């Protein structure tokens, strides 16, 4: 038995060693990928459920590694945060997303959608460490100036945990962002250390109901109850509410029935590279 234990320990050790090596390797490759602008931005539509049209997009980063293949953001975003690469990576994603949105505004306008309210918005994720960097406001301002995007079309998605970690810092950051004219969305609402008071305390414009509640809302009474509560909360506070992770017609029906304005999920489209999203837009354009 002792021998066996030893052998197992060895295997365990070997695995840990390999994992550490992979992380070290990825770290230096991520640095290179950011420098060479190899991180791609995919886009997923956010749909206006009542009007059945595109309301906006969420920018989602993708790292397609030459050898390891697809590395999910859940793996490389934390890595970027730990290595200080999140600032240049985040700036690059933001710049790309703003530029892409401007090109799509041209598409909408070419189809007769010229009203400000008809033009789609862009949501970009801001991670915790990124959000608390004092340089963030200046970077966003520079990118808006450089691309010429009207700030009202940009939404920054943050999670509630960010507000909890450093409420004071977050409050002054949010005030500065609001002065820039961008919108702020509370992502993954209901999964963190909430927080109903945060909605009052901080200038939050939109709420995104986490997909965990949405994916089970047609089977689980508790999830559905939470969704209904968030929807009436959003309505009472004058906030836009987006349901994430809508996958079935059944879920969509329940959401629409309860007055949910906006939805996002595989039912409408998976996140797609810009050329494919452009094709999706052309296909769904109604004027
Ligand atoms: P998130 O912000 O909550 O993004 C939504 C995630 O749900 C995305 O995963 C999206 O692909 C996925 N999703 C959308 N609809 C459905 C659906 O119907 N079913 C299912 N099962 N999933 C759906 P993704 O792209 O893997 O991103 C994971 C997380 O990584 C994001 O969660 C976000 O927190 C982070 N992330 C992604 N890109 C960036 C980025 O550029 N910057 C930062 N800071 N974080 C990012
Ligand atoms: Ca998000
Ligand atoms: Ca989310
Ligand atoms: Ca999430």
Count the residues in the chain.
Answer: 287
Q: Which atom of ligand 1 is nearest to the CA of 159?
A: 34
Q: What SS3 class is residue 50?
A: coil
The pLDDT value given to residue 287: 46
- Of 156, 262, 136, the closest CA to residue 204 belongs to 156
The pLDDT value given to residue 15: 84
Most distant CA pair in the chain: distance in Å? 76
Give CA angle at 90 (123, 274), nearest 5°. Answer: 55
Prediction pTM value:
0.93
Q: pLDDT truncated to tens, each residue of the chain (287 aa)?
A: 555 556 666 767 888 888 888 888 888 999 999 988 889 999 999 999 999 999 999 999 999 988 889 999 999 999 999 999 999 999 999 999 999 999 999 999 999 988 988 999 999 999 999 998 999 999 999 999 999 999 999 999 999 888 888 889 999 999 999 999 999 999 999 887 767 888 888 999 999 999 999 999 999 999 999 999 999 999 999 999 999 999 999 999 999 999 999 999 999 999 999 999 999 999 988 54
The pLDDT value given to residue 196: 81
Q: Which residue's alpha carbon is nearest to atom 41 within ligand 1? A: 61
Distance 60 CA to ligand 1 centre (A): 6
Q: Which ligand is nearest to the CA of 189?
A: 3
Residue 269: CB within 6 Å of ligand 1? Answer: no
């Amino acid at each position: 038995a002792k021998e066996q234990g030893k052998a197992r320990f060895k295997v365990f050790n070997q695995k840990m060693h390999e994992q550490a090596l992979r992380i070290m390797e990825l770290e230096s490759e991520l640095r290179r990928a950011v420098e060479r602008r190899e991180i791609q931005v995919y886009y997923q539509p956010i749909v206006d459920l009542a009007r059945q049209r595109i309301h906006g997009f969420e920018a989602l980063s993708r790292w397609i590694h030459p050898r390891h293949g697809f590395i999910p953001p859940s793996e490389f975003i934390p890595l970027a945060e730990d290595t200080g690469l999140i600032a240049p990576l985040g700036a690059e994603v933001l710049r790309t997303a703003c530029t892409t949105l401007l090109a799509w505004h041209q598409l909408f306008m070419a189809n007769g959608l010229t009203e400000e309210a008809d033009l789609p918005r862009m949501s970009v994720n801001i991670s915790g460490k990124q959000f608390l960097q004092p340089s963030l406001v200046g970077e966003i301002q520079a990118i808006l100036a450089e691309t010429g995007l009207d700030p009202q079309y940009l939404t920054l998605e943050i999670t509630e945990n960010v507000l909890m970690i450093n409420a004071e810092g977050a409050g002054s950051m949010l005030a500065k962002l609001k002065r820039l004219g961008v919108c702020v969305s509370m992502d993954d609402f209901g999964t963190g250390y909430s927080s109903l008071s945060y909605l009052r305390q901080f200038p939050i414009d939109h709420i995104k109901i986490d997909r965990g509640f949405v994916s089970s809302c047609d089977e689980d009474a508790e999830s559905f109850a939470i969704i209904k509560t968030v929807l009436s909360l959003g309505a009472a506070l004058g906030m836009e509410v987006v349901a994430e992770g809508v996958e079935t017609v059944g879920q969509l029906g329940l959401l629409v029935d309860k007055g949910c304005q906006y939805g996002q999920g595989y039912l409408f489209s998976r996140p797609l590279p810009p050329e494919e999203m452009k094709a999706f837009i052309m296909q769904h354009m109604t004027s």
